[in-house]
Structure 1
């Protein structure tokens, strides 16, 4: 059975840390220790891209931070269960270069690259907006307000520009707001604290951004802390100090399912305003055999996910139960259930609870 395809678009201004994050994301999840703990590993579909990411990471260990990407990159990762040969999930990672936020294309070739990149954004189930933790720490919520305003204006410009060419860009409807360089914050600072500050001090800018993206619940719902590596001034980078990197793929998976539930709920003429996500998920499962008939194409993979991960697994807060389900699936050779349940469990362990927070 072919792997499930998850598409994620990553945005961030120059210097926010997207390039470092991608290298750390890949390196962390290719290690035997990760596979043993989380019961899956990842592999780059393109070997050359995988080697390039590893090379970036090893240079990081020497304190050599890579230059930010100046082009639209697409990298594909396959997720393999421990000791099983078949890939269960393929993540398509679209890296929208920060320089494109700030400057116009330099020539026709770059304009065409931007056009192709924008078309791929419409395939994405989830978008990630990366806020620069160093700037947030030094400038406070004024930086977050600027980031939201700037991103909203840029999205509006991209939509108008693409519409003029007859190819209107479609942005993801589900978003994660992630704070990079989280090692700069106190050890007891969590995603919940970040959420509280943003919703308190930048609510008007959040509302504007949601309006521009034409998605009422796009922002202000999911928050992450990400630290690719800790980089103290007087010592080498310690690759064991990452935060949230191992939680990122699980957060993308769950956000995709939540997006499908929201779409399905929107198609129903009658529903309670107080209906919870899990009530909506239960209704969605009841119609899983025909879910593809009314969900947008980018959410059709959810019909497959819901055949392998039960409502009880999504709702459970007990990591031990989820790990037992995962290990049982591995023994049976059930590729999909092993990886998907393992990802859900990763959101509930100690690191996941600090690095990822949903307020709805």
Structure 2
């Protein structure tokens, strides 16, 4: 059976840390210790891209931070269960260059690259907006307000520019707001604290951004802390110091399912205003055999996910239960259930609870 495809688009201004994040994301999840603890590992589909990412990370260990990307990159990662040969999930990572936010294309070739990149955004189930933790720490919520205003204006401009050329750009409907360089914050600072500050001090800007993206629930209820590496004064990088990197793919998975539930609920004429996500998920499971008939194409993978991960698994806060389900799946050779359940468990462990928070 071919792997499930998850598409994620990553946005961030120059210097926010997208390039370092990608290198740390790959390096952390290719290690035997990660495979032992989380029961899966990842592998770059393109060997050259994988080697490039590892090279970036090893240069980080020497204190050599890479320059930010100046082009639209698409990198594919396969997720393999421990000791099983078949890939279960393939993540398509779209990296939208920060420079494209700030400058016009330099020539026709770059203009075409931007056009092609924008078309791929419509395939993404989830978008990640990366806020620069160093700027947030020094400038406070004024920086967050600027980030939201700037991103909203840029998305609006991209939509209008694309429409004028006959290409209707479509942005992801589900979003995660992630704070990079989280090692700069106190050890007791979590994603819940970040959420509280943003919703308190930048609510008007959040509303504007949701309106521009034409998605009422796009921003304001999923938050992450991400620290690719710790960077002390001597610039000696310890690869064990990352935060939230292991929870990133699981957060994308869960956000995809949540998006599908909302899409399904929106198609029903009658539903309670107090209906919870899990009530909606239960209804979705009941009609899973026909789910592809009414879900948009980007969410059709959810019909497959829900055949392998139960409502109880999604709702469970007990890591021990999730790990038991995962290990049972490994023994049976059930590739999909092993990886998907392992991802849900990664959001429930100590690091996941600090690094990821959703308020709805």
TM interval, short-chain normalised: over 0.9
1:118-167 deviation per Cα after TM superposition (whole angstroms, max 9, x unaligned): 00000000000000000000000000000000000000000000000111
Query: Partners in 2 of 1:62 and 1:32 — Cα distance?
Result: 22
The runs of 5 or more residues in structure 1 that have no matched partner are none
Q: In structure 2, what is the equivalent of residue 205 of structure 1?
A: 205
- The structural deviation recorded for 1:235 is 4.6
TM-score (norm 2): 1.00
Structure 2: runs of 5 or more not aligned: none
Residues 40-95 of structure 1, C-alpha deviation per residue, up to 9 Å, x if partnerless? 00000000000000000000000000000000000000000000000000000000
> Does the residue aligned with 1:291 lie in a helix, a strand or coil?
helix
Q: State the SS of the aligned residue for 2:74.
A: strand
Question: Secondary structure of the residue that 1:120 maps to in structure 2?
Answer: helix
Separation (CA, whole Å) in 2 of partners of 1:234 and 1:178: 26
* Higher mean displacement: 284-293 or 235-244: 235-244
Name the SS for the 1:123 alignment partner: coil
**Secondary structure at the residue paired with 2:8?**
strand
CA distance in 1: counterparts of 2:235 and 2:295, whole angstroms: 51
1:257 maps to which residue?
Answer: 257
Question: Given that residues 223 and 358 in structure 2 are in contact (C-alpha distance below 8 angstroms), is that contact kept between their aligned partners in structure 1?
Answer: yes
- 1:226-241 → structure 2 map (5 Å cutoff): 226-241=226-241
User: Which segment is superposed worse, 232-241 or 317-326?
Assistant: 232-241
| Secondary structure of residue in 2 paired with 1:208 | helix
Offset from partner CA, 1:13-62 (integer Å, 9 cap, x none) = 00000000000000000000000000000000000000000000000000
1:324-339 equivalences under 5 Å are 324-339=324-339
CA distance in 1, matches of 2:332, 2:110: 49
Tell me what 1:131 maps to: 131
**How many pairs align?**
360
Aligned residue in 1 for 2:148: 148
Aligned equivalents of 1:125, 1:173: Cα separation in 2:
7
User: How big is the shift at 1:234?
Assistant: 2.3
Q: Give the stretch that moved more between structures: 114-123 or 229-238.
A: 229-238
Separation in structure 1 between the aligned mates of residue 280 and residue 32 of structure 2, nearest angstrom: 38
CA distance in 2, matches of 1:94, 1:282: 31
Worse-superposed segment, 121-130 or 234-243? 234-243
Distance in 1, Cα, partners of 2:346 & 2:183: 20
CA distance in 1, matches of 2:136, 2:236: 24
Q: What SS does structure 2 have at the residue aligned with 1:169?
A: coil
Question: How many Å separate the matches in 2 of 1:307 and 1:13?
Answer: 38
> SS of the counterpart of 2:176?
strand
Secondary structure at 2:232 match in 1 = coil
Q: Give yes or no for the alignment of 1:170 onto 2:173.
A: no
CA contact (8 A) 2:62 2:235 kept: no
